[in-house]
């Protein structure tokens, strides 16, 4: 069990009720004995994500993910098993036991990761202390110029790199090796010389949702030929596409006060400026196009997003794909229109809190923003420009599934071009509308992958795992299963029942590991409120019969092949007599 004692994991799961834990990430509603919500692992319009309170596991009928509370935390927070256990232990105020790893490679990787995180924390402290030292005058001057208050300097851990050598010397004195320094990303090496990767810059630590420093951003203080902003490179603890700046404070805000929306900006300084002005629900994409992983991270915190990128037309046009990624993940996207040439920091300085709030209030839905971009892309004073605008605008309008919204958007195009509403409407309907996305229905378990025998085996095992009364009439040891996963589940059930212990489906996620997760998901899908409108008792015995017939048929085929190749008459006669017995047995079942 990944190095943790089974007794400890049992207590951990008892103290972290799966409904309570998942309820922090997903809005759940009780229906029957289960709780339902929209799956946090894929975009869906109807709730097909089921949480079983009694047996403490979740299952999604859309993407077929399933697991216990540890699996959920692993998936939702992108953690390994040990870190998911640690998070849940902290939540339940349980001390972590000493862990004994079976796999030396895992143990070494864990140790290396913890060592790098320690190094990064020491680096952040070093940079922060530098702000108070001689040589940091330009760094302090920049902070004062940007009007960053002292509390924000502390809140964001802003620091200073005074030169290219100080950090290397400091880390060496702390006992870190050159290899560890370069692995962490804060130190580079050239021609055998190790130096601070962000030498001379203002330093902004990048902190993940667990308050761990994972990387750094650096801002040049003087004009130069190289980039104004620079991040330390990706490492074993940092991937830009999986992180958002200020996520640690956003998580804290959600836990303390809740979140109705999130503002996404491009950079660190925009974030710091907005937070200092009173907008605390801000994260930054750190200058890169938004990714699916970042969209999924945001969806854990809210369903509504305001995009507040710089008021530069080229930049806004280039950002559309990133906004579509957010929309595809089921987020409501609104775009904040900033005055040309201004970024959020400029707006705060010029107009203050109320001025930026007005821009949020006037933010446009993504589809309206796309039409604005098209209007600014084509010259509507020319015939060619107007035609291209209308063609592309109609494509955008077709993305909406709302006839009312489509008509409203057509009026916008009419006002911009002078083309009649009736003509635009004919153009809109000249090509068949994109069919409305089919409503996601909760699939029945007989849609499970595999043949009839595999399906029967799953239902049989589900009945034992969820302690169905009718399953007690058949000794599980009397059955033969085909797949190794099913045989392992059989052994677990038999051992628990033999020892007079409770059989718990959720135990299997730790016992069997990742390789069995897909099969466990299929079994989990059979235990739902939606699948009980039939005679389960009769179906169970039909499945037992199906499995037995399959096993007997396999044995008959095997004996027939052996008989065909057997030259010894006595052995061949014995094989035939065994086949006759099996055929009689099969006939009774049929």
Amino acid 435: pLDDT: 43
Homologous superfamily of domain range 104-205+217-222: DNA primase, catalytic core, N-terminal domain (3.90.980.10)
The reported pLDDT for the residue numbered 328 is: 82
Q: Which CATH number fits domain 6-91: 2.60.40.10, 3.90.580.10, 3.90.1150.10, 3.40.640.10?
A: 3.90.580.10
Domain boundaries, the chain: 6-91, 104-205+217-222, 247-364, 378-429, 445-589
* CATH placement of domain 445-589: 1.10.860
CATH topology of domain 247-364: Dna Topoisomerase Vi A Subunit; Chain: A, domain 2 (3.40.1360)
What is the C-alpha to C-alpha distance for residues 285 and 306, in angstroms, rounded to an integer?
Answer: 13
Residues 570-587, buried b or exposed e (16+ Cβ, 10 A)? eeeeebeeebeebeeebe
What is the pLDDT, as a whole number, of residue 70?
Answer: 93
Q: Which two tokens stand for residue 15?
A: 């103290």
Contacts 24+ apart (CB under 8 A), 448-451: 448/522, 448/525, 448/526, 449/522, 450/522
User: Mean pLDDT for each consecutive 10-residue tract of the chain (590 residues)?
Assistant: 74 92 90 86 83 88 88 85 89 82 68 93 97 94 94 96 96 96 96 95 93 94 81 91 91 85 92 95 84 85 88 65 82 87 88 93 90 88 92 89 89 92 87 44 45 88 89 90 91 88 83 80 74 75 91 88 84 87 84
Residue tagged 């499970």 (tokens) = 448
Q: How many whole angstroms separate alpha carbon 126 and alpha carbon 124?
A: 5
Q: From residue 500, how far is each of 278, 388, 460, 496, 503 by CA, in Å?
A: 59, 75, 20, 6, 9
SS3 (DSSP) at 242:
helix
């Amino acid at each position: 069990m990944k190095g943790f004692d089974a007794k400890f994991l049992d207590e951990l799961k008892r103290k972290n009720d799966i409904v309570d834990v998942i309820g922090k990430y997903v809005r759940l509603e009780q229906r029957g004995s289960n709780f339902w919500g929209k799956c946090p692992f894929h975009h869906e319009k109807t709730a097909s994500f089921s949480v079983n309170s009694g047996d403490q596991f979740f299952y999604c009928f859309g993407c077929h993910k399933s697991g216990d509370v540890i699996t959920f935390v692993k998936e939702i927070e992108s953690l390994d098993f040990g870190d998911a256990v640690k998070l849940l232990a902290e939540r339940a105020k349980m001390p972590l036991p000493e862990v004994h790893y079976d796999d030396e490679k895992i143990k070494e990787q864990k140790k290396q990761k913890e060592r790098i995180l320690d190094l990064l924390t020491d680096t952040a402290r070093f940079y922060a202390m530098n702000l108070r030292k001689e040589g940091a005058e330009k760094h302090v001057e920049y902070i004062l110029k940007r009007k960053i208050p002292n509390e924000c300097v502390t809140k964001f851990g802003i620091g200073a790199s005074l030169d290219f050598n100080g950090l290397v010397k400091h880390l060496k004195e702390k006992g870190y090796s050159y290899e560890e320094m370069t692995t962490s990303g804060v130190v580079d090496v050239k021609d055998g010389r190790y130096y601070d990767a962000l030498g001379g810059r203002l330093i902004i630590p990048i902190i993940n949702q667990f308050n761990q420093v994972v990387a750094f951003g650096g801002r040049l203080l003087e004009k130069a030929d190289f980039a104004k902003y620079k991040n330390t490179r990706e490492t074993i603890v940092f991937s830009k596409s999986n992180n958002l700046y200020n996520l640690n404070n956003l998580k804290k805000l959600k836990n303390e006060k809740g979140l109705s929306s999130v503002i996404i900006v491009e950079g660190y300084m925009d974030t710091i400026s907005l937070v200092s002005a009173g907008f605390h629900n801000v994260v930054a994409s750190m200058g890169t196009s938004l990714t699916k992983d970042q969209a999924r991270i945001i969806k854990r915190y809210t369903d509504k997003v305001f995009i507040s990128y710089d008021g530069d037309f080229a930049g806004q046009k280039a950002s559309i794909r990133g906004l579509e990624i957010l929309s595809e993940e089921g987020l409501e996207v609104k775009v904040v229109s900033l005055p040309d040439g201004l970024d959020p920091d400029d707006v705060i300085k010029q107009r203050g809190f109320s001025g930026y709030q007005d821009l949020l209030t006037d933010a446009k839905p993504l589809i309206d923003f796309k039409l604005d971009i098209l209007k600014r892309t084509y010259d509507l004073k020319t015939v060619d420009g107007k035609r291209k605008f209308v063609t592309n605008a109609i494509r955008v309008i077709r993305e909406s599934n709302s006839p009312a919204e489509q008509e409203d958007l057509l009026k916008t195009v009419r006002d911009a071009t002078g083309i009649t509403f009736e003509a635009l409407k004919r153009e809109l309907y000249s090509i068949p509308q994109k069919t409305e996305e089919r409503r996601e229905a909760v699939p029945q378990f007989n849609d499970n992958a595999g043949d009839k025998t595999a399906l029967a085996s799953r239902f049989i095992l589900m009945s034992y795992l969820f302690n169905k009364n009718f399953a007690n009439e058949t000794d599980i040891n009397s059955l033969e299963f085909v797949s190794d996963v099913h045989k392992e589940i059989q052994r677990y059930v038999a051992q628990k029942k033999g020892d007079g212990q409770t059989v718990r489906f959720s135990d299997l996620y730790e016992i069997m590991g990742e390789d069995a997760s897909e099969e466990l998901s299929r079994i989990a899908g059979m235990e739902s409120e939606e699948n009980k409108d039939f005679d389960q008792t009769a179906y169970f015995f039909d499945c037992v019969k199906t499995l037995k017939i399959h096993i007997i048929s396999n044995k008959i085929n095997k004996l027939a092949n052996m008989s065909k190749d057997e030259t010894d008459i006595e052995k061949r006669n014995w094989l035939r007599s065994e086949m006759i017995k099996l055929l009689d047995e099969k006939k009774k079942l049929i």
